[in-house]
Amino acid sequence: MRDLLIMGLVFGLLPFAFSRPYIGALMWVWISLMNPHRLTWGMAYGFPFAMLTAATTVAGVFVSSDRGRFPAARETTILLLMAFWFTLTTTVALIPDGAWYKWNRVIKILIMTIVPLFLLQERNRLRLLLLVMAISIGYFSVKGGISSLITGGRYRIFGPSQSFISDNNALAVAELMVLPFMWFLARSEPRKWFRRGLYLSAPLTIVSIVFSYSRGALLGLIAMVTVLIVTGRRWGLAIAFVLLAGVGLAFVPSAWYERMQTIGSYKEDESAQSRFQSWTFAWNVATDRPLTGGGFRIFSKEGFVRYTSEEFAAFEAHSIYFEVLGEHGFVGLGLFLMLLASAFMTLNSVERQIRGRPVVAWAKDYAIMLRLSVVSYAVGGAFLGLAYFDLYYDVIAAVILLKIVVHRELAQEAAAYRAARIAELDPPPALPVPVAP
């Protein structure tokens, strides 16, 4: 039944994705984040819905007039440079077969980060993008929060198999990244039932994060609260997050505390030691090949055999930063950090531009929620190999779109003001008064 539902829904929406490509862009985000086909057990499970949606959307971009200009932004330039550099490092990769396989997946993500920028250059469409992101991940966080409360957190929550969020730690970071969307989008949601649903999703998401047993997500939650206090001065919201997390902590089993305590006793923790070994391996690769690194898939048995003599149970990067460093060298890491820093710079710039401008006051909440999402990724991803996580690149796309929409609305306000001033200074000539016969 699930297979038929997913197949019917996707194929039913494809004609709309072609005629109105922005619908296809939103479909891509939904399918790539939620992976609804991975929640089935039949013919839909392995069907390439994402590739089919992407191809239909790109085709629609070329034939439809419903698109904006090229999104000339600093982040767009960095994304294109990253795509170029990743291609270059793949041509000289130490494990070429596996490298090209991963390159194909990463390039698709980068392309489908840029394509929506042509299609979502309106305030309502930007809001739809954020809602799709929140709902796609929120499905798992709400389900996980309810399950954790019922079972007392005895079971970890995992995402769909063969996806970026299949691991409980990755799912927790994704939940943390969309948590601000739920709260801030609810503030401006006109539909009462939907607004209440978003507000209810936020505390359940916090519970799901706490019960995920993810140390990285816990640090990310602390970082989010810190940013709320330091930059936003939203003490009420920060205190609410802390209280909700405290409620979750009151119900967690002793196993949760034992795992969190390993943050301070990392020398005795096998998982932490594995991370240090992976990070040392990435550094060795980068110092040996500082420009290009080892290429995609260097974090594999063949790569570890080449650069270390230690035994590894799992060949993982365990960090977004060391993953890029090991695979693409210091140049690749520099581009990755530039994209991260550029997002913060753009959000700060947007907040300065909208200050005291009522016409774009709505963008204040958007800037705050996107900043919190990027902070969550930067902190939580420091302990996970999620350098090419499509949710992060969707957030970057939202940052670019926010800048574009704000600039457009400010320009429209300025044009309307100039037109009004011209009308005041140069009024139309008065019509002659008719003379009575």
* pLDDT tens for each residue of 308-362: 766 665 678 889 999 999 999 999 999 999 999 999 999 999 999 999 888 899 9
Render pLDDT for 144-173 as a digit per residue (tens, 0 to 9).
888 888 877 677 778 888 888 888 888 989
What angle in degrees, to the nearest 10, is found between the helix axes of 123-151 and 363-380? 50
Q: Are residues 16 and 157 in the same domain?
A: no
Render pLDDT for 25-81 as a digit per residue (tens, 0 to 9).
999 999 999 988 888 877 777 788 888 999 999 998 888 888 888 888 899 999 999
Burial label, 72 (beta-carbon count in 10 A; 0-12, 13-18, 19+): exposed
| Domain edge (last residue) among 67, 94, 124 | 67
Q: Are residues 24 and 150 in the same domain?
A: no
Please report which confidence band the pLDDT of residue 435 belongs to, taking 50, 70 and 90 as the band edges.
low
Other residues' Cβ atoms within 10 Å of the Cβ of residue 318: 23
- Reduced to 3 states, what is the DSSP secondary structure of residue 39? helix
Residue matched to tokens 């939650």: 221
Give a yes or no: residue 112 inside a domain: yes
Say which DSSP state 428 is in: P
Mean pLDDT of 359-380: 92
Q: What is the pLDDT of residue 235?
A: 58
Q: Are residues 333 and 206 in the same domain?
A: yes
Give a yes or no: residue 121 inside a domain: yes
Kindly tell me the sign of the dihedral angle through the C-alpha atoms of 157, 161, 164, 167.
positive
Q: Is 356 left (phi over 0), alpha (psi -120 to 50) or beta?
A: left
Listed in sequence order, the residues at least 6 apart from 361 whose beta carbon sits closer than 8 Å to its beta carbon are 354
Phi/psi of residue 201, nearest 5 degrees: -65, -35
Q: What is the pLDDT of residue 367?
A: 94
Q: Are residues 141 and 7 in the same domain?
A: no
Q: Are residues 137 and 62 in the same domain?
A: no
Q: Write down the H helix ranges in 250-389.
A: 254-260, 270-288, 301-307, 320-354, 363-380
Mean pLDDT of 366-370: 93
Q: Are residues 23 and 85 in the same domain?
A: no
Say which DSSP state 230 is in: I
CA distances from 178 to 135, 199, 249, 291 (A): 9, 13, 21, 34
Q: Are residues 26 and 121 in the same domain?
A: no
Q: What is the pLDDT of residue 181?
A: 95
More confident: 126 or 203? 126
pTM: 0.88
Please report which confidence band the pLDDT of residue 413 belongs to, taking 50, 70 and 90 as the band edges.
confident
Render pLDDT for 4-31 as a digit per residue (tens, 0 to 9).
888 888 889 999 999 899 999 999 999 9
Q: Are residues 356 and 227 in the same domain?
A: yes
Whether pLDDT at 432 is above 90: no
Give a yes or no: residue 373 inside a domain: yes
Q: What is the pLDDT of residue 268?
A: 47
Q: Are residues 42 and 132 in the same domain?
A: no
Listed in sequence order, the residues at least 6 apart from 346 whose beta carbon sits closer than 8 Å to its beta carbon are 73, 74, 75, 399, 400, 402, 403
Q: Are residues 317 and 351 in the same domain?
A: yes
Q: Are residues 180 and 312 in the same domain?
A: yes
Structural domain including 16 reads 1-67
Which helix (H) or strand (E) segment holds residue 170: the answer is helix 168-187
Number of domains in the chain: 2
Torsion, Cα 184 189 191 196, to 10 degrees, reads 10
| Domain edge (last residue) among 46, 67, 88 | 67
Q: Are residues 333 and 213 in the same domain?
A: yes
Mean pLDDT for the chain? 84
More confident: 342 or 261? 342
Render pLDDT for 103-135 as a digit per residue (tens, 0 to 9).
999 999 999 999 999 999 999 999 999 999 999
| Domain edge (last residue) among 48, 67, 86 | 67
What angle in degrees, to the nearest 10, is found between the helix axes of 168-187 and 215-227? 30
- Lowest-confidence segment of 136-145, 202-211, 225-234, 316-325 by average pLDDT: 225-234
Other residues' Cβ atoms within 10 Å of the Cβ of residue 50: 20
Nearest-angstrom CA–CA distance, 62 and 60: 5
